[in-house]
Amino acid sequence: MTNIVLFGKPGAGKGTQAEILKVMYNLKHISTGDLFRFHKSNNTELGQLAKSYEEEGKLVPDDVTIKMLQEEVERNPDAKGFLLDGFPRTIAQAEALDAFLESKGWKVDATIALEANDEILVQRLLERGKTSGRPDDQDEEKIRTRYREYNDKTAPLMDYYKAQHKFYSVDGIGEISDITARISAVIDALN
C-alpha cells in the first residue's frame, strides 16, 4: 500500500500529474475537486455545502471534505494505494487523514508539493476557466483569495510533513513529462 499526497496551489498541475501517476503506480486517484463536483452535480447535502463555500472563493470546511474522502476510500477496498490530490489542505485534515489511515493499518508515505510562481498559476487558472466552466477559475480576485487561504491554511502542512520526513518539494514548471520525471524520482526512492 502506497499512499501519496500531491499538493500545491490551485493550477499547480496536481490533476494533470495525478492522471499520469495513477497509471504508472497503479494507485486510486482521489481528487477533492472531483469529489466536490460529483457531490454538487448530484446535489448531495455535502455537495450543497461545498458549493456555497466555493462560490465565495473559500476552502470547504474540513468535516465536509473528510466525509467525502472517507466515503471514496471505503468504495475502493481493493486499491493498491491512493494518490490524494487536494487533500489534506489543513493540519486538522492531515491529522484526520492520519487517524483514518491508521485505523486501516495504512499511512501517508510521501507528500509531494508542486511549486510554482503565483503569477504563472493565476494565468493558468484564467485560461482553464475559459473552457472549464468553473466560476472560481474565471475571476482573478477569487483566485487570489484561494491563494491567500492556501498560504494561511495549507502552507503549514509543509512543517507537519517535514517533521515526519515525508515532505518533498518538486518544481511544477516545465514540460509535463519533465515534472512527471521529478515526481517519479521521489516516489521511486520511497521503496
Poorest-pLDDT segment among 20-29, 64-73, 127-136? 127-136
Residue 124 falls in the annotated catalytic set: no
Q: What pLDDT, on the 0 to 100 scale, is given for residue 61?
A: 81
pLDDT at 55 over 80: yes
Mean per-residue pLDDT over the chain, rounded: 89
Residue 75 falls in the annotated catalytic set: no
Q: What pLDDT, on the 0 to 100 scale, is given for residue 149?
A: 82
Range of the domain at 8: 2-190
**Residue 33 among known ligand-binding residues:** no
pLDDT at 125 over 90: no
The residue from 40, 134, 153, 166 that is catalytic is 134
Q: Which residue has the higher pLDDT, 190 or 33?
A: 190
Residue 144 falls in the annotated catalytic set: no
Residue 6 grid cell: 500531491
The residue from 14, 22, 124, 142 that is catalytic is 14
The residue from 89, 124, 142, 182 that is catalytic is 89
**Residue 182 among known ligand-binding residues:** no
pLDDT band for position 29 (cuts 50, 70, 90): very high
DSSP string, the chain: -EEEEEE-STTSSHHHHHHHHHHHHT-EEEEHHHHHHHHHHTT-HHHHHHHHHHTTTPPPPHHHHHHHHHHHHHT-TT-SEEEEES---SHHHHHHHHHHHHHTT----EEEEEE--HHHHHHHHHHHHHHH--GGGS-HHHHHHHHHHIIIIITHHHHHHHHTT-EEEEE--S-HHHHHHHHHHHHHHH-
Q: What is the CATH number of the domain that holds 111?
A: 3.40.50.300
Domain count for the chain, please give it: 1
pLDDT at 163 over 90: yes
The per-residue pLDDT for range 61-101, each reduced to its tens digit, is 888 888 899 889 988 988 999 999 878 878 888 999 999 99
Q: What pLDDT, on the 0 to 100 scale, is given for residue 137?
A: 79
Report the share of the chain in percent with pLDDT over 70.
Answer: 99
**Residue 107 among known ligand-binding residues:** no
For range 20-41, the mean pLDDT: 91
